[in-house]
Amino acid sequence: MSDTDFLIAGGGYSGVLTAKLLRDNGINATVFDSKCEGGELGVFKKLPDLREYYAEYIEEYDELTKEITIHKGTVLGDVLVMVGRVKKYHSELLICTGCFDNQPFNCNILGSRPAGIFSLQTALKLISMGFTIGKKVLVVGDDPVLEIVERLMYRRGYEILLMRGKEVFVEGRERVEKVRVDGEYFNCDTLIYFCGRSEFNPFDLNGIKLGNINAKTYDYRKVRKDTVRGIKDLII
Amino acid sequence: MKDYDVAVIGAGVIGCFIAKELSKYDLKVVVLEREPSVGMGPTKGCSGIIHPFQLPFNSLKGKLCLEGNKMMDDEAKELGFKFKRVGLILIARNRISNIIIRLIKFYFSRYLRVEYLPRSKIISMEPNVTEEVCGGLFFPDAGVVNPVEMTFRARRFAELNGVEFRFEREVTGIERERDFFKITSETDGRETITSRYVINCAGLYADEIAGMIGDFSFKIEPGKGAHVIFDDRDFTYHIMAAIPLKPDRKTKGGGALVTIDGNIIWGPSLVDASDKEDRSVNVEDVKRLIEKHSKVFKEMPKKPIAVYSGVRAMAGKDFIINSPVKNFINVAGIQSPGLTAAPAIAKLVLRILRNSGLELKNKPYKSDAKKDVNIFKKVIFTGEREIPYFIEDELVCHCNLVTFQEINDTIDDGASTFDEIKHLTGCSMGCRKCMPDVIEIMHKRGLKLRKDFKNSYIVWK
């Protein structure tokens, strides 16, 4: 580890792509990830329609991980915690920790907070883990990926409706019972929302940010573009 | 049919503290709770403030607040919950209120510690305070706790010392027979127990429980309070509020609060709710809160992350602690500052029990020590960089540094719902990306995948 020039936090698509692009330029980099589950693409891979939609990136990721090893460890500031030991590092840090979906309040979702409200990200992960997240699902948001999600969930037997809306109000005590979107009521037991993403950097790591932490999107073309451009800037 | 000496109805902070106090004596005690976990009613919805005082000083709630505040350090140590006396600053924004607060100080100092703070001192303590500040009062005894943790630790202590907690038992009938009560509860099937004494701490439903023995002397009115949470740890360090000149019922009380973890909470408001179960927050609630509390500061805190409402169980202006029927005690209408008063209320209830003939025989009791801080928290919070031993631990929640081990320990201690695990460990309170991982742990541990209430299923497998 001491002979590495760069430490990459995050072993998802942009982390691994970063390591590969650096290696192509003769620069050593070591990738660390807390969970080693293949990042977000690891979730998409388990869901047929999304697997197809993201096929290009999933295949690329699988190819890349054949040559690039992802080590299990969490980067906390200037310290790296690996299962088994804690180590100080002295390499340059590249941050490829991706993003998370904005939360209900930031998406103008008010009302009560019963069970059955999911961000797109958590809904997809739960489904990929084999959980059923409800029966009658209302999806509120505006993004091309939502149409794929709609098809995916429809095929899995969910009753699903996709809506755009600005103001959302949830009713229900134990579980979602009704959702009001811009004044119109929908009876449903589940709400999935999407209104953009924010950078995931809970330890406020200092370093160069690459990939989805900047792009904040479900559009992996943009993730790829940001990573490639970032590396270009870095090498110059 | 099971026989008990004391049956406590309701496992909120009050029920759990009474149970904890009773567990120190040689008694058979049972706690009956409608929901699957403790503190999921008014307790969870409160702001977590340990108040330095409550007006009027000569009211029951005023006295119990002062007494409870003094007891809090010992309670926190004995039960093992986090408690920090952060202090409260009441701010005067004009010259008139700056004169008024000196009079207030003179009057208050008979009851509690209070200091006058000049403008410069407040600015040095709280750099974000408004330029308009003229002076203020400082109450060093004000503190903060995590109300769910406080309640859960009291339950844990009580359970360790022999109190039986029966969850998902909604009391549907109480009958008096000679010198004991027959209590019927329902959920999956009916069950009847008998108990010599009954303590009614059923929160929002205390009036219904009292009605079962024919006491219709009070009615619980739900008083909803909305809060906004900000993830801005260095915005303020104390609880802050402006001196109210014109009391406005809709925005009565509340302040710019800090949580035990350093987040910022603005609230609570007071809105009449027609429904005891209405915990909704609407646009007006948020606007009103922000409008009110932003007057105290130069700028707004960054990153608002969530809003929530709690429902106060109010019955008139004061607490109701009485015995309408021999051996039946109401502990009702425990509105603010119920959390602060909880330990003092428990002591008072014990005195009432003793006076009505219950023999309180001391027994040895134990408390379980707090577990070590995990390695990630050591690195981030204490700066400890070299850990000499091997860890097998792994982070679940990055935002609040919660490990698998901590979640498993919390489940071992008796947490059974998602919200309980969330409030006790802090997981899934930041970006909430880890929520599926927490659900997975719950599933592996064989828990029902519920949020907080009996039928609040999140997912199914």
Put simply, the answer to whether A175 touches B379 (Cβ < 8 Å) is no
* Interatomic CA distance for residues B211 and B332, integer angstroms: 12
Residue A42: per-residue pLDDT: 97
Cβ contacts of residue B325 below 8 Å, gap of 6+?
B176, B213, B214, B215
Name the residue among A13, A6, A75 with its Cα closest to residue A44.
A13
Residues forming a β-bridge with B224: B271, B311
pLDDT category, B423, cuts 50, 70, 90?
very high
Residue pair B333/B320 in contact (Cβ under 8 Å)? The answer is: yes
Nearest to B457 among A83, A115, A167 (CB): A115
Cβ contacts of residue B201 below 8 Å, gap of 6+?
B8, B9, B10, B12, B14, B15, B18, B331, B332, B334
pLDDT category, B420, cuts 50, 70, 90?
very high
User: Is B373 touching A (CB cutoff 8 A)?
Assistant: no
User: Is A198 touching B (CB cutoff 8 A)?
Assistant: yes
Comparing alpha-carbon positions, the chain B residue that sits nearest to A133 is B459
User: Is A116 touching B (CB cutoff 8 A)?
Assistant: yes
Sign of CA dihedral B257, B260, B264, B265: negative
Residue B115 to chain A, least CA–CA distance (Å): 38
Which of B269, B379, B441 is best to mutate for the A interface (most A CBs within 10 A)?
Answer: B379
Q: What is the pLDDT of residues B45-66, one digit of tens each?
A: 999 999 999 999 999 999 999 9
Residue A32 to chain B, least CA–CA distance (Å): 13
Name the residue among A116, A143, A233 with its Cα closest to residue B456.
A116
Q: What is the pLDDT of residues B125-183, one digit of tens each?
A: 999 999 999 999 999 999 999 999 999 999 999 999 999 999 999 999 999 998 999 99
* Interatomic CA distance for residues A62 and A13, integer angstroms: 10
- Give yes or no for a cis peptide into B268 (omega within 30° of 0): yes
Residue A1: per-residue pLDDT: 47
Comparing alpha-carbon positions, the chain B residue that sits nearest to A123 is B436
Within 260-319 of B, beta carbons closer than 8 Å to A belong to 277-283, 286, 304-309
In this structure, are strands B180-187 and B189-200 parallel, antiparallel, or unpaired?
antiparallel
Put simply, the answer to whether B431 touches A202 (Cβ < 8 Å) is yes
Which of A110, A119, A124, A197 is best to mutate for the B interface (most B CBs within 10 A)?
Answer: A110
Q: Which run of H or of E encompasses A147?
A: helix A144-155
Residue B272: per-residue pLDDT: 77
The end-to-end CA distance of chain A, in Å, is: 24
Name the residue among A3, A63, A8, A44 with its Cα closest to residue A209.
A8
Put simply, the answer to whether A200 touches B454 (Cβ < 8 Å) is no
Q: What is the pLDDT of residues B286-301, one digit of tens each?
A: 999 999 999 999 999 9
* Interatomic CA distance for residues B146 and B398, integer angstroms: 20
Range with the lowest mean pLDDT among A53-57, A184-188, B373-377? B373-377
Residue A205: per-residue pLDDT: 94
Q: What is the pLDDT of residues B14-52, one digit of tens each?
A: 999 999 999 999 999 999 999 999 999 999 999 999 999
pTM here is 0.95
Amino acid letter, B89: I
Buried b (16+ CB within 10 A) or exposed e, B106-116: eebeeebebeb
pLDDT category, B383, cuts 50, 70, 90?
confident
Put simply, the answer to whether B307 touches A171 (Cβ < 8 Å) is no
Q: What is the pLDDT of residues A153-163, one digit of tens each?
A: 999 999 999 99
Which residues of chain B make contact with A111, given a CB cutoff of 8 A?
280-282
